[in-house]
Every structure is written in structure tokens, then in C-alpha cells.
Structure 1
């Protein structure tokens, strides 16, 4: 992946995480978008509660395909917006690559069952 596409992917993940964070916390999207990347998720600026944290993790799993609770048992990635975006970007790329490599469907055999 090129540096430009990595930056674009990270930017997209940042935007999506901020949207999900606003929904999980009830903080306005404009306020979340104004925040720098470093404030602590459980700190005073965002005030992520444990219930909102579970909601956020579930939404990330459902919409971005990264199961943070499984991938980061200590949940260190929940330190800040920045650490969360970095983690999701890194694991989203890895998950997609693994899915492609493990996919039972080969595009060259479209229309035929891989189980036949």
C-alpha cells in the first residue's frame, strides 16, 4: 500500500471513529470533530463511560470489521482517538488481507461452487 493510500485510509478511519464516538457518547459530532487526536477517551473532554465504550467497540466491530476486544486484550488502543484510529487502521488492513487470502471463493471460478 502506498503512503498516500495509507494516509487516505487513516483519514477515513479517523472520520468514521469520530462519528461512532459522537454517537456512543452523545457528544455532538461537531464537538468531537474539533478535538485534537490526543485527548483521553475516558478523560474529561470526551468522558467515554464504560457503557459507551462497549457500544463503541461493538459499532467498530460491526462497521469496520475489527474486534478490538479480541485483538487488544489490555485495550491500550482506547487511550485516545489517535491510538484507536491507528489500531483500527492497522488491523483493518490486516483483516482485509487475511480475508482475501482465506476466501474460499476464487474470482476466476465465479459461478461455480467452491464446495462442489
Structure 2
């Protein structure tokens, strides 16, 4: 992913931390709980339990924060598989500030 504006591990870690907070808010979970989940935790799986409405809320927050319209760029929404896939997708597509 050399084309990514987020080439350093620190930048990716920041995006993941911020996304975990957004996920917790959208799913109405404790931020500390989501922060401790493995990166491969499924967003719509039992640990997070994201609903379709919460998913829309999350996508809106991602678009607002990073300028990434996940639904428009990833028609199959594969990027919503897990915390890690969403982080990778946003890191690769986010708009520089």
C-alpha cells in the first residue's frame, strides 16, 4: 500500500484507535471494551453486534471524519468485515487534510 497517505504504523494505529471509538459509539458499547477486542473481531459478529442502522451511523461518521464514503467505494462492503478490514480501507482511502 505504498499509495496510501498513511504509510507509517503510527498513523494507522491512530486511525484504528479513532475507528474503535466510532464503532463503540455506533454500537452503543463501552469504548474500553471495544479497545480491547482483537483487530479481526467481526463488526456484525456477536462481540460488537453492529446492526444495519448502527452500520449506517458508523459509515456517516467515517465519511465525516476521514472523507471516505465506504459505501460508494466498496460496493460489496467487504471492508466492514472486521475492525482490521475497516481500518485498512480507511487508511488506504482517506483524504489528506
- Common topology (TM > 0.5): yes
Compute the displacement of 1:80 (Å): 0.2
CA distance in 2, matches of 1:34, 1:47: 15
2:80 corresponds, among 78, 81, 103, to 78
CA distance in 1, matches of 2:28, 2:61: 14
Which structure has the larger Rg over C-alpha atoms?
1
Normalized per residue, the structure richer in helix is 1
Counterpart in the other structure of 2:44 = 42
Root mean square deviation, CA, Å: 1.7
TM-score (norm 2): 0.90
CA distance in 2, matches of 1:52, 1:58: 10
Structure 1 alignment gaps of length 5 or more: 100-116
Count of residue correspondences: 93
Structure 1 residue ranges, 4+ long, deviating more than 4 angstroms after superposition: none
CA distance in 2, matches of 1:37, 1:28: 16
Compute the displacement of 1:55 (Å): 0.1
Structure 2 alignment gaps of length 5 or more: none
SS at match of 2:8: helix
Compute the displacement of 1:39 (Å): 1.1
More relative contact order, 1 or 2 (CA 8 Å, 6+ apart): 2
- Pairing 1:88–2:90 present: yes
Measured against aligned partners, the alpha-carbon deviations of 1:42-91 in whole angstroms (never above 9, x if no partner) come to 00010000000000000000011111011101100000000000000010
